Chain A
């Protein structure tokens, strides 16, 4: 069923692309107005990160002169396509889309383009082999997950003096943040002869799974000196596992992760977590800025990179408000 709908979606997508190229329509323009009706198509709201993202959009709406039409696709790509279609029917001025999956959302973007409504993709990109930023949608606003991995690795190299035996807790197998955070970290670490990844396992981005996996890995590899988790929730689980095994997180084993949740910042203050690279969910202000630049007729770069902060002992306390 899933495969079939995916195939169908990509078929439709290809047709749409063909039609769009034939018509040779440019990207829809955004007129300069004082007030806009903006659709925000969220993909799900079952974790703190998504909730913070939605809140950020709602917060900016009033400041930016937006009337927000908000939908939540509840983790379903097909519902999200329908959500975007209903936004088109409501004749919104602009659609901000957090695409659930790269391919299935392309037809919805094409439909919006046909209806003359510009689309901005946030936090996850669309499949660039069928839809191009600058031609089919305005731009992709998002973090550089590979770079997040780089930064985590660089901090760890400094903190350990370039010598560490590392266990890596990966995010959900196949998810793009997991793939890219692994790529960035592994690349950087490989260049150091003293740094060695002794085990790397799937912790599903979840605290409970991260804890159980690390508990077991700790038994098999008691010589570990550092843990790299692809998100803070797994890092929290890792800290619990280390404490249960009688090791002191932050002293015996150094933990580094990515996200910047409130819990993680508190753990840094408590000395249990070494550092966390922020993966900012605060897309409201930057989306507003991009929309204003686009309305003013500026050409937008195909990827607007979100600048992610970095939290360690030196600034965790001051940034507690930036956690989510």
Chain B
């Protein structure tokens, strides 16, 4: 099979690791600003907090990057998080039959919600790939219905729980590093490797770059699209579990609310083309860090939340503008 793909240029960094200099510049400026003007910024605890708070956005945004690289978009990530987050306490709270054994209960409470979110991904992928519905409309269906499903599961009630295993998932540390941060970094590394070195990664880029050409070249475009939505769904499910684990409570109305916008913004700031054909996983990580750091900076300086939203939007605008100029 001969495939002409954009080959990496003669620069030293491999393509997948490249971050648009606009985004990097933004991150560096934010860090410098905080070092100068924010008290107690240079501490391990600050790093820990920012990394844990950003981890759910990054995990969702990695899936989003792959979807966007095929020329799609997934609006349903927040609702899928809600489904998975609402489902888990129902499972480990059941304590009947085999579920009463802690280890089995824990495993089922992790696997089943992620599977449920993946099924949501299958639905999205089928609508997009098989029925050729525009991604923004296809995923809007679950964006609306998914949260409804999560609310019906729980009658809209807040569920609170205390579960040692889930508590560790949210707050546990390995060698002093929060577990979620390690998980996030692992997911970023694996995704970056997939995009760089596997056939599947190439398929994703080819599909997003020019779908007709990709199909003529023998790439299973439909299956590739289905796969990215399923991956995005599964990652959202995982993020939903992390959110409830940190809080020891699940509120179907709030889990993942508005995260699709944070994730899409992270992807855009990170230099992935929203029209497809290019994916920058590490760029997405940088984009998410910028968004998180803006939030932290404004909070630490006592800027009211409402004003913070406007500033956040402004910074995204600037980053995207810089990226546009680069291209």
Which B residue's beta carbon lies closest to that of A213? Answer: B299
A202 near B158: Cβ-Cβ < 8 Å: no
8 A Cβ contacts from A200-227 to B: 200-202, 204, 206-208, 211-213, 215-217, 219-222
**B304 interface residue per 8 A CB criterion:** yes
Given contacts A202-B304, A202-B305, A263-B160, contact A208 B171 (CB under 8 A): no
- Chain A hits for B151, CB < 8 A: 46
CB distance from B136 to the nearest CB of A (A): 22
- Chain A hits for B300, CB < 8 A: 216-217, 219-220
Q: How far is the CA of A202 from the CA of B302 in the complex (A)?
A: 10
**A11 interface residue per 8 A CB criterion:** no
**B197 interface residue per 8 A CB criterion:** no
**B21 interface residue per 8 A CB criterion:** no
**A62 interface residue per 8 A CB criterion:** no
Which B residue's beta carbon lies closest to that of A199? Answer: B302
A207 near B247: Cβ-Cβ < 8 Å: yes
- Chain A hits for B156, CB < 8 A: 45-46
**B74 interface residue per 8 A CB criterion:** no
Q: Which of B53, B157, B249 contacts A207 (CB 8 A)?
A: B249
Which B residue's beta carbon lies closest to that of A240? Answer: B247
Given contacts A211-B246, A220-B38, A237-B247, contact A201 B254 (CB under 8 A): no
- Chain B hits for A173, CB < 8 A: 304-306
A206 near B302: Cβ-Cβ < 8 Å: no
A219 near B157: Cβ-Cβ < 8 Å: no
> What sequence of 0s and 1s flags, for each residue 117-137 of chain B, a beta carbon within 8 Å of any chain A beta carbon?
000000000000000000000
- Chain B hits for A216, CB < 8 A: 49, 53, 295-296, 299-300
8 A Cβ contacts from A37-92 to B: 45-48, 51
> What sequence of 0s and 1s flags, for each residue 25-58 of chain B, a beta carbon within 8 Å of any chain A beta carbon?
0000000000000111101011001000100000
CB distance from A171 to the nearest CB of B (A): 12
Q: How far is the CA of A201 from the CA of B41 in the complex (A)?
A: 19
CB distance from A98 to the nearest CB of B (A): 16
Q: How far is the CA of A78 from the CA of B300 in the complex (A)?
A: 39
**A245 interface residue per 8 A CB criterion:** yes
CB distance from B220 to the nearest CB of A (A): 40
Number of interface residues of B (CB under 8 A): 33
**A236 interface residue per 8 A CB criterion:** yes
**B222 interface residue per 8 A CB criterion:** no
Q: How far is the CA of A8 from the CA of B201 in the complex (A)?
A: 55
Given contacts A208-B243, A222-B40, contact A47 B158 (CB under 8 A): yes
Q: How far is the CA of A245 from the CA of B40 in the complex (A)?
A: 13
Q: Which of A201, A208, A245, A246 contacts B299 (CB 8 A)?
A: A201
Q: Which of B247, B295, B299 contacts A217 (CB 8 A)?
A: B299
Which A residue's beta carbon lies closest to that of B253? Answer: A46
Q: Which of A200, A208, A221, A245 contacts B247 (CB 8 A)?
A: A208
B158 near A215: Cβ-Cβ < 8 Å: no
Q: Which of B39, B254, B301 contacts A206 (CB 8 A)?
A: B254
A206 near B251: Cβ-Cβ < 8 Å: yes
CB distance from B295 to the nearest CB of A (A): 8
**A19 interface residue per 8 A CB criterion:** no
**A244 interface residue per 8 A CB criterion:** yes
> What sequence of 0s and 1s flags, for each residue 147-162 of chain B, a beta carbon within 8 Å of any chain A beta carbon?
0000100001110100
Q: How far is the CA of A51 from the CA of B158 in the complex (A)?
A: 10
> What sequence of 0s and 1s flags, for each residue 213-250 of chain B, a beta carbon within 8 Å of any chain A beta carbon?
00000000000000000000000000000010011110
Given contacts A46-B156, A47-B158, A222-B40, contact A240 B53 (CB under 8 A): no
- Chain B hits for A211, CB < 8 A: 246-247
Q: Which of A200, A208, A240 contacts B254 (CB 8 A)?
A: A208
Q: How far is the CA of A215 from the CA of B300 in the complex (A)?
A: 10
- Chain A hits for B251, CB < 8 A: 206-208
Q: How far is the CA of A161 from the CA of B49 in the complex (A)?
A: 32
Q: Which of B41, B157, B253, B255 contacts A51 (CB 8 A)?
A: B157
**Which of B53, B247, B295: most chain A CB closer than 10 A?**
B247
- Chain B hits for A199, CB < 8 A: 302
8 A Cβ contacts from A91-118 to B: none
CB distance from A100 to the nearest CB of B (A): 16
Since A201-B304, A219-B300 are in contact, a sample of 6 more A-B pairs with Cβ atoms closer than 8 Å, ordered by chain A residue number, is A45-B156, A202-B305, A207-B249, A244-B171, A245-B45, A245-B49
**7 closest A-B pairs (Cβ-Cβ)?**
A220-B300, A202-B305, A216-B299, A46-B156, A215-B49, A219-B46, A46-B253
- Which residues from chain B sit less than 8 Å from chain A, CB to CB? 38-41, 43, 45-46, 49, 53, 151, 156-158, 160, 171, 243, 246-249, 251, 253-255, 295-296, 299-302, 304-306
In the complex, 12 of the A-B residue pairs with CB atoms within 8 angstroms, ordered by the A residue number, are A45-B156, A48-B158, A173-B304, A202-B304, A208-B243, A208-B251, A211-B247, A213-B299, A217-B299, A219-B300, A220-B40, A244-B171
- Which residues from chain A sit less than 8 Å from chain B, CB to CB? 45-48, 51, 173, 199-202, 204, 206-208, 211-213, 215-217, 219-222, 233, 236-237, 240, 244-246, 263
